[in-house]
Amino acid sequence: MSGGQRDQRTRTTLATLARQKAAGEPVVMVTAYDFPSARVADEVGVDLVLVGDSAANVVLGYDSTVPVTVDEMLVLTRAVRRGLTHPLLVADLPFGSYEASDEDAVRTAQRFVKEGGADAVKIERGGTSIARARAIIEAGIPVVGHIGLTPQAATALGGYTVQGRTADRAEQLVRDADALAAAGCFAIVVEAVPAAVAELLAGRLDCLTIGIGAGGATDGQVLVWHDLLGLTTGHVAKFVRRFADLHTETVRGLTAYADAVRAREFPGAEHTYAIGDEELAALRARLT
Ligand code: KIV
């Protein structure tokens, strides 16, 4: 097995994740939104794949996660499902699909499991989401919470900014995390929170903490596919490390293709199908 890969025969379950936390073995989560990416995540052997509503930004071109619909997310979730065998598949419930009532939350979560093939769902915020998480879990569907910078509530939070920098705000995060854990969430994503606050959370919670912009002490890490592979152009958050530069490589490849077509250098003979001389002659005769 090469670096970063783990035994792909190990299918991720809630029990294997709990064992990883107990053993202090870091949990790897990544977003994916389509079949080929899911195949790669499967091949590498990540533990969890999240069909994040960040798809709204990085795949569908919206300027926030708010507009993405359940139906759009279901198309992406099904595509990822078809590409995965071993990682646990978590789907984000989009804004507006779960907040109003427990019934809405359960119905939407059931659609992601039944129609999308998700193993678990993720919902954002504390507050009313704590009751929603409990209702979904009571309906038999595992839930991941998400606190700190919760993009669905970015306007209310004052933008895409670090959360929990005062004792008051950090205490609120801890209370929310405690309540989500008590509701039965098996993991909580902690986004854009000071490392010391995230460390405190990881130490007190029995469930997994999965950080993004929350330092190295959480039980696992998650990054957005397009950010970590350098497909995102322009500004990226401070917490992103680009592990590859696929944008540059994609531009290079596409430019080479366009140049080759324009120069009539592609397709070459090796990309071309032949017809027998006699058949061609017969065709020509018919067309004259
Ligand atoms: O939508 C998403 O990609 C997420 C991750 C950043 C955790 O929620």
Percentage of residues in the chain having pLDDT higher than 90 = 93
Which range among 39-53, 59-73, 108-122, 148-162 shows the weakest confidence by mean pLDDT?
148-162
114 and 26 assigned to the same domain: yes
CATH number at residue 106: 3.20.20.60
Q: Is the pLDDT of residue 197 over 80?
A: yes
pLDDT band at 2 (very low <50, low <70, confident <90, very high): very low
Q: DSSP states of 81-94 as a string?
A: HHH-SSSEEEEEPP
What pLDDT score does 166 carry? 97
Quickly state the pLDDT bin for 79 (edges 50, 70, 90).
very high
Ligand 1 center to 189 CA (angstroms)? 8
The residue whose two tokens read 């090469």 is 2
Give the pLDDT of residue 288: 87
Residues 261 and 156 in one domain: no
Give the Å distance between the CA of 123 and the centre of ligand 1: 10
Atom of ligand 1 nearest to the CA of 151: 8
Could you give the number of structural domains in the chain?
A: 2
262 is in which domain, residue-wise?
Answer: 257-287
272 and 179, same domain (yes or no)? no
Measured from the CB, is residue 141 less than 6 Å from ligand 1? Answer: no
The string over 88-114, giving b where at least 16 C-beta atoms fall within 10 Å of a residue's C-beta and e elsewhere, is bbbbbbbbebbbeebebbbebbebbbe
Phi, psi of 120 (to 5 degrees): -155, 165
Residue 19: other Cβ atoms inside 10 A: 11
| Nearest Cα to Cα of residue 149 among 64, 225, 26 | 64
Average pLDDT of the residues in 24-33: 98
Q: What pLDDT is stored for residue 1 in this prediction?
A: 42
Our answer on whether the CB atom of 53 is closer than 6 Å to any ligand 1 atom is yes
pLDDT in tens, 141-180: 999 999 999 999 988 898 899 999 999 999 999 999 999 9
Q: Are 59 and 92 in contact (CB under 8 A)?
A: no
Instruction: Kindly state whether residue 54 falls inside one of the protein's structural domains.
Output: yes
Between CA 224 and CA 218 the distance in angstroms is 17
Q: Ligand 1: which of 76, 95, 189, 224 to mutate, judged by most atoms within 8 Å of the beta carbon?
A: 224
What value does the mean pLDDT take over residues 44-57? 98
Both 109 and 221 in one domain: the answer is yes
Predicted confidence (pLDDT) per residue in 219-243, tens digit: 999 999 999 999 998 889 999 999 9
Q: Are residues 237 and 263 both part of a single domain? A: no
Q: Is residue 8's pLDDT more than 60? A: no
Residues 160 and 221 in one domain: yes
**Per-residue pLDDT averaged across 72-90, rounded?**
98
Q: Which atom from ligand 1 is nearest to the alpha carbon of 189?
A: 7
| 119 assigned to some structural domain | yes
| Catalytic residue list contains 99 | no
pTM of the model: 0.94
Q: Which two tokens stand for residue 203?
A: 């130490």
pLDDT over 70, % of the chain = 97
The answer to whether position 113 is within a domain reads yes
Is 2 domain-assigned? no
The pLDDT, as a whole number, for residue 5 is: 53
251 lies in some domain:
no
In the reported structure, the alpha carbon of residue 109 is separated from the centroid of ligand 1 by a whole-number distance in angstroms of 17
79 in ligand 1 pocket by Cβ < 6 Å?
Answer: no
Indicate whether 1 belongs to any domain: no
Same domain, yes or no: 200 and 154: yes
Q: Are residues 82 and 21 in the same domain?
A: yes
On whether residue 168 sits in a domain, the answer given is yes
**Average confidence score pLDDT of the chain:** 96
Q: Which residues contact 238 (CB under 8 A, 6 or more apart)?
A: 213
**pLDDT digit string, tens, across residues 115-151:** 999 999 999 999 999 999 999 999 999 999 999 999 9
Q: What is the pLDDT of residue 158?
A: 86
Give the E-state strand segments of 176-272 in sequence order. Answer: 187-191, 208-212, 220-223
Q: Kindly state whether residues 167 and 281 are assigned to the same domain.
A: no
Residue 192 — pLDDT band, cuts 50, 70, 90?
A: very high
Atom of ligand 1 nearest to the CA of 223: 6
Catalytic member of 191, 249, 265, 270:
191
The residue nearest atom 4 of ligand 1, judged by CA position, is 52
Q: Is the CB of 52 under 6 A from ligand 1?
A: yes
Six-digit token string for 156: 């209310």
Ligand 1 atom 5 nearest Cα: 52
Residues 176 and 86 in one domain: yes
Asked whether residue 8 is domain-assigned, the answer is no
Q: Say if residues 227 and 246 touch (Cβ distance below 8 Å).
A: no
Q: Is 189 in the pocket of ligand 1 (CB under 6 A)?
A: yes
Average pLDDT over residues 270-283: 98
Please confirm whether the linkage preceding 267 is cis (ω < 30° from 0): yes
Tell me: pLDDT of 30 over 90: yes
Tokens of 140: 């038999």
Encoded tokens for 220: 């696992």
Answer yes or no: do 176 and 263 share one domain.
no
Q: Is the CB of 108 under 6 A from ligand 1?
A: no
pLDDT at 7: 53
Paired tokens of 73? 């997310």
Q: What are the backbone angles phi and psi of residue 243, rounded to the nearest 5°?
A: -90, -5
- 92 CA closest ligand 1 atom index: 1
